[in-house]
Amino acid sequence: MEPRRIEEACIKCKDRCCARCFDDGEENIFSSLTTDELEMLVKEKRHVVFNAGETILKQNTSASHVVCIKRGLAKIIAEGEGDRKLILRLVANHAILTGGGIFIDEIRHFTVQAVTQVECCFIDSEKIYELVSNNSRFAFELLKLNNQQNVQMLNNLVGITQKYMPGRVSDLLLYLKNDIFLCNPFDTRLSRQELADMTGMTMESFIRILKEFKSSGIIAVDGPTIHVLDEDALHLISRKG
């Protein structure tokens, strides 16, 4: 396999180098690219900054780009009929927003919105197709990524379908702590409504469950900051339903 450190290829942005974004120790699907391929991506991509609240990708628009999150937090929203919405998951550093129609109908099937300021790169889908054609390792990585999302969504589906509200809130808290923020008192930066939208319940119901957890000593809450005090209890509640 070819070497793939390409600091020198980075012409567009000096400080926060794209090559480093694609290649900063974190394993991601771009690890499978050759120097030339990475260079091609770096040259072609567009680097964009979104402020909190801005829409990065909009459901039902045409999906001509793959977006790579470099810094910040964003939420993936499935918009339903009326103003109903479901937040599917959060994405942070190094997330790659593919899936959702890229390879089939070229239509976005979800909206992506910045929670904090988000720095990201837009890559033309054509480039991705090209890489899939030329680099089987990349294709493999992409398949892996797709599969992961698939499995996550499946678990989500099962959870939301089969669990009562306390179980769903437990799952959400565990997800936030262990998959997204990776630290214990964590600042969600999300409103109660948004948190509720991740569990498929109303804000009021969500708040009530949170209150119960609080008075049971399972968590401590201070505004958008949540401190998990008894993770085992959450696991237990998650399992029970």
Partner DNA sequence: ATAATGAATTGATATTTGTCAATCCTTTTT
Partner DNA sequence: AAAAAGGATTGACAAATATCAATTCATTAT
Site residues (CB under 8 A) for a copy of itself?
A: 78, 80-82, 84, 86, 88, 99-105, 109-110, 129, 132-134, 136, 139-140, 142-144, 146-151, 153-158, 160-163, 200, 239-241
Q: Which of 51, 136, 150, 191 binds DNA (CB under 7 A)?
A: 191
179-182 contacts, C-beta under 8 A, 24 or more apart: 180/73, 180/90, 180/92
Judged on CB neighbours under 10 Å (0-12, 13-18, 19+), 10 is buried
Take residue 215 and report the two structure tokens written for it. 């008075």
Nearest to 102 by CA among 60, 142, 145, 64: 64
Measured from the CB atom, the residue of 53 and 241 that comes closer to a copy of itself is: 241
CA dist., res. 37 & res. 129, Å (int): 12
Q: Which residue has the tokens 């790169």?
A: 121
Interface positions, 150-179, toward DNA (CB under 7 A): 164-166
Count of residues binding DNA (CB under 7 A)? Answer: 19
Take residue 209 and report the two structure tokens written for it. 């469950």
Q: What is the closest distance, in whole angstroms, from the C-beta atom of residue 143 to a copy of itself in the complex?
A: 5
Q: Which of 88, 201, 218, 234 binds DNA (CB under 7 A)?
A: 201
Q: Which residues bind DNA (CB under 7 A)?
A: 164-166, 191-193, 200-205, 207-208, 210-211, 221, 223-224
